[in-house]
Amino acid sequence: MARILFVEDDPMLREIMTEYLSHHQVVPLTDIEEACAFLERDPAFELIITDYHLQPFDFEARCYPPGRMTGPDLLTHVRCAGIGIPLVLMSSEVQNDTELALLISGFAGVIRKPPVWTEVLPLIDRLTRGDHDDQILLPTVS
């Protein structure tokens, strides 16, 4: 059983994912700031799963409100603190090109929303077993 920090602001998805991963010890949190503070006190996790945007979309302004930390901000915080826990990003906005950019930036995996459960569990199990590389190998062009 692995210890997983799960950062998600949607209460329904937080509950579903926590239940789906019930064979692990899941610590669910609602925002990045809370996760950063929690990790400073207790960094003993095998995996962190975080949403990209953890605030409501402003449909009137057609953007997310400024000033709140995002999933990539959590990755930066964790790495700057010297914590080597793999991070997985969840997002409904990820396309193939952005997924590659996220992996290159240091995320160990990407889960697209809505989650494809048959892909989620193998990814999480692989990462919590420590079966991951810190490098992404890209094909070379000759």
Is 139 part of any domain? Answer: no
Is 142 part of any domain? Answer: no
Provide the number of structural domains found in the chain. Answer: 1
If pLDDT is split at 50, 70 and 90, which confidence band does 67 have?
A: low
Provide the domain limits for residue 13: 3-128
Is 135 part of any domain? Answer: no
What is the pLDDT averaged over residues 55-77? 73
Is 133 part of any domain? Answer: no
Query: Domain holding 36: CATH number?
Result: 3.40.50.2300
Is 40 part of any domain? Answer: yes
Q: Which two tokens stand for residue 30?
A: 């609602």
pLDDT digits (tens, 9 = 90+) for 31-41: 888 999 999 99
**Whole-prediction pTM:** 0.84
Is 54 part of any domain? Answer: yes
Give the sign of the dihedral formed by CA 27, CA 28, CA 34, CA 36.
positive
pLDDT digits (tens, 9 = 90+) for 74-102: 999 999 989 999 999 999 887 777 888 88
Q: Which two tokens stand for residue 126?
A: 């692989």
Residue with tokens 């997924």: 99
Q: Is the pLDDT of residue 132 over 90?
A: no
Residue with tokens 């969840």: 90
